[in-house]
Amino acid sequence: MNFRFKRSYSGPVQAVIFDWAGTVVDYGSLAPIDGFCMLFEQNSVPISHAEARVPMGTEKYEHICQLLAMPRIQQAWINVHGKAPEKADTDRLYKQFVPIQIEAINKRAELIPGAKETFDYLQLRNIRVGSNTGYSQAMIEGLIAKASAKGFSPESIVAATDVPRGRPYPHMTLKNLIELEVENLQACIKVDDTIPGIYEGLNAGLWTVGVSVSGNEAGIELFEWQTLSTDEQNAIRQKGEERLYQAGAHYVIDSVADLPDVIDDIERRLLAGEQP
């Protein structure tokens, strides 16, 4: 049997894989921050929003592990609990965290402005839509239902607990693409507001689009963003863009509302023989 392999795909974009918090819902990606800060507060070791954001994008058990490994937090834990945190502590914290996080997610389940319009655009173009998240399946059940009711309903939804390894490994994105029956990886895009999410897309061989304003990099609610001066907005935008481009993102946009123009440019580059 003879097979022909086309080295350079030149057709249209076939699929887009979205992150959830900070990308299509929860402007500012605040639900995870609310959850982690409450968890550590309840365990008498308060953490700052900046500390809680450092491991953002990772699976939530791993997120707790990374927080406990931070020197300041670890020392604070020792001061309060009399010993360094152990696996049993992490297991207990994660079990305690799940209901806290579910409540926080449900409070911040609003679609980011432009998310529905972008989803509608992809549907009109027959571009398949998947999503993945550092949340567990149990955490996002309510979020999926609320997002669907508001017009965002991806065909494939993968949680970090559905695969052997979460971000920055490519497992979730690859599972999405298998479920979507995509034919060409170079015709697919990963959209994410976190650096681990950009690494995930790159490791899967996709075009990657970072989100600099609506998610983790800016880390503020929409109404706060709107009260800032143009100079203040530009400073925040530039900082996020630099970090996401340094992580390897092919494009960086303010929010998912800006994605259609990126898709047009990627299709131009594919037609010219470029690959991610």
Per residue in 244-254, pLDDT (tens digit) is 999 999 999 99
- Domain coverage including residue 260: 15-30+109-271
Last residue of one domain, picked from the residues 59, 83, 107? 107
Rounded to an integer, what distance in angstroms lies between the CA atom of residue 93 and that of residue 107? Answer: 21
Predicted model pTM:
0.92
| Range from 2-6, 101-105, 189-193, 230-234 carrying the lowest mean pLDDT | 2-6
Give me the residue label for tokens 């992150």.
19
Q: Are residues 119 and 63 in the same domain?
A: no
Q: Are residues 159 and 265 in the same domain?
A: yes
Q: What is the pLDDT of residue 10?
A: 87
| Cα within 13 Å of Cα(237), Cβ side | 12
Please report whether residue 49 resides in a domain. yes
Point out the catalytic residue in the list 34, 60, 175, 193: 60
For residue 50, with 0-12 CB atoms within 10 Å meaning exposed, 13-18 middle and 19 or more buried, which class applies?
A: exposed
Q: Are residues 102 and 141 in the same domain?
A: no
- Inter-residue contact 60 to 94 (CB < 8 Å): yes
Last residue of one domain, picked from the residues 82, 107, 132? 107
Read off the pLDDT of each residue in 163-180 and give the average, rounded to a whole number. 97
Q: Are residues 21 and 158 in the same domain?
A: yes
* Alpha-carbon distances of 6 from 3, 10, 183, 184, 252, rounded to whole Å: 10, 9, 12, 10, 29
Q: What is the pLDDT of residue 263?
A: 98
Q: Are residues 46 and 23 in the same domain?
A: no
Please report whether residue 199 resides in a domain. yes
Please report whether residue 170 resides in a domain. yes
Q: Are residues 57 and 113 in the same domain?
A: no
DSSP state of 258: G
pLDDT band at 7 (very low <50, low <70, confident <90, very high): low
Q: What is the DSSP string of 117-172?
A: HHHHHHHHTT-EEEEEESS-HHHHHHHHHHHHHTT---SEEEEGGGSSS-TTSSHH
- Inter-residue contact 30 to 3 (CB < 8 Å): no
Give me the residue label for tokens 């249209």.
12
For this structure, is 95 an active site residue?
no
Q: What is the pLDDT of residue 8?
A: 79
For helices 31-42 and 87-107, angle between their N-to-C axes, nearest 10 degrees? 140
Read off the pLDDT of each residue in 226-234 and give the average, rounded to a whole number. 98
Q: Are residues 222 and 250 in the same domain?
A: yes
- Is the pLDDT reported for residue 1 higher than 50? no
A 10 A CB-CB count for 8 gives 11
Please report whether residue 3 resides in a domain. no
Q: Quick one: what percent of the chain has pLDDT higher than 70?
A: 97
Read off the pLDDT of each residue in 35-41 and give the average, rounded to a whole number. 97
Q: Are residues 37 and 146 in the same domain?
A: no
Q: Are residues 20 and 73 in the same domain?
A: no
Per residue in 251-268, pLDDT (tens digit) is 999 999 999 999 999 999
Here the tokens at position 8 are: 């350079």
The structural domain count of the chain equals 2
* Alpha-carbon distances of 105 from 101, 102, 141, rounded to whole Å: 6, 5, 10
Q: Are residues 189 and 240 in the same domain?
A: yes
Last residue of one domain, picked from the residues 57, 75, 107? 107
Please report whether residue 61 resides in a domain. yes
Q: What is the pLDDT of residue 125?
A: 97
Per residue in 51-65, pLDDT (tens digit) is 999 999 999 999 999
β-strand partners of 253: 211
Q: Are residues 242 and 205 in the same domain?
A: yes
Question: Pick from 105, 123, 129: which is nearest to 29 by CA?
Answer: 105
For this structure, is 150 an active site residue?
no
Buried b (16+ CB within 10 A) or exposed e, 242-255: ebbeebebbbbbbb
Please report whether residue 4 resides in a domain. no
**What is the domain-level CATH number for residue 67?**
1.10.150.240
- Is the pLDDT reported for residue 2 higher than 80? no
Q: What is the mean pLDDT of the chain?
A: 96
Q: Are residues 87 and 218 in the same domain?
A: no
